[in-house]
Amino acid sequence: MPSVTPNDRRAARTRRSLVGAFVELVLDRRYDEISVQDVVVRADVGRSTFYEHFRGKDDLLEQSMHWLLVMIAEAAEPQPDLDRLTAAVDHFWQNRRLARVIFSPPIAARVRRSLTRLIVDRLDQENGELRNARALQIAAAQLALLEAWTHGDLTAPPELIVAQLQAAARL
């Protein structure tokens, strides 16, 4: 388990370096072809340093996207923060090349699972099985919308995407 103090500036710089190296690799290669060794070489850190911050490659992916997926999951809240949701949509648009990779196999399934877990935490009205099914449905709809938009299959202003993310959360 990672054991780094969250407020340590040096640790934050190392995490940024690891995430940056990972993003570069994801843009260059298929996810399945990337190893932890590739990430540490690109980031110029030791393997043990990597494991001080992340449990593995999937954990790096999940943690690097967590902040963004939280903002998307917030659309399922009764009063979502529209500024945060708009910022997330803008981020996806500004990083379309990376978004296209993220919304493609095999990363897409991992992202959907992460978003589903975040949405489940925001749904408290249903029993467990129904809540899990509904969270999965919302996550899949939201990600399909973002995928179509960032791939150019859907032409729409960011405001409409924000509204549709909210609508998907109310399925």
Both 69 and 50 in one domain: the answer is: no
Both 93 and 117 in one domain: the answer is: yes
What is the distance between the alpha carbons of residues 57 and 109, in angstroms, rounded to a whole number?
Answer: 15
Burial of 129 (0-12, 13-18, 19+ CB in 10 A): exposed
Last residue of a domain, one of 20, 37, 55: 55
pLDDT tens, residue order, the chain (171 aa): 555 555 689 999 999 999 999 999 999 999 999 999 999 999 999 999 999 999 999 999 999 999 999 999 999 998 999 999 999 999 999 999 999 999 999 999 999 999 999 999 888 766 778 889 999 999 999 999 999 999 999 999 999 999 999 999 987
Both 17 and 83 in one domain: the answer is: no
Helix (H) or strand (E) holding 115: helix 107-120
What is the distance between the alpha carbons of residues 166 and 34, in angstroms, rounded to a whole number?
Answer: 34
Domain region containing 36: 9-55
4 assigned to some structural domain = no
Torsion over CA: 72, 73, 76, 82 (sign): negative
